[in-house]
Amino acid sequence: MKPNRLLPILLFAIYSFAQTTEVASFDYQQLQPLLHQNSESVQVVNFWATWCAPCIKELPYFEELNKLEGVEVLLVSLDFPKHKQKRLIPFVEKHKLQSKVVHLDDENENYWINEISTTWSGALPATLIYSQNRRGFYEQSFTKSELFKEVKSYF
């Protein structure tokens, strides 16, 4: 077989592999347990979207955090439901995101924004950090050093 005949097969294989990326869509009731895990690790939950420029800028810092011992990162996408297949999943694949990614598809924002934090106005990006004895909510963008410093204060 000539190499140029292999190429389509190879591309198809890559394509098939890429299509296996799955991102679960949750309503708030399904997401809620992930915001209240009784874990030894510090839990970092970042609310973001592929269209949110400041979110994308800080995403690599969360990916680095996720590699740390004793830290678990959850990336909660607020992309529009109609953009999940076209934008969110390709983004997760392109950037090879290692942190757990879920898509929050729940219209009742006026309910769950306050449930997540009464201090959250609803602006993105926003981040919840919690351990067994402390919870903090941050409606802001982080620099890498700010984020690491804040997370370390939970140990």
Applying CB under 8 A, the residues found at the interface with another protein are 49, 51-54, 78, 80-81, 107-110, 113-114, 119-125, 139-141
Nearest to residue 21, comparing CAs of 77, 80, 78, 100?
A: 100
Smallest distance, another protein to C-beta of residue 100, A: 20
Q: Based on CB atoms, which residue is closest to another protein, 80 or 148? A: 80
What one-letter code names the amino acid at 99? S
Smallest distance, another protein to C-beta of residue 136, A: 12
Residues 81, 124: Cα–Cα separation, whole Å? 17
Smallest distance, another protein to C-beta of residue 16, A: 30
Distances in whole angstroms, Cα of residue 41 to Cα of each of 59, 98, 127, 133:
20, 17, 16, 11
**What does DSSP assign to residue 154?**
T
Smallest distance, another protein to C-beta of residue 155, A: 23
Q: Based on CB atoms, which residue is closest to another protein, 74 or 125? A: 125
Q: Based on CB atoms, which residue is closest to another protein, 68 or 124? A: 124
Measured at the alpha carbon of residue 21, what is the angle toward residues 28 and 96, in degrees to the nearest 5? 100
Q: Based on CB atoms, which residue is closest to another protein, 137 or 148? A: 137
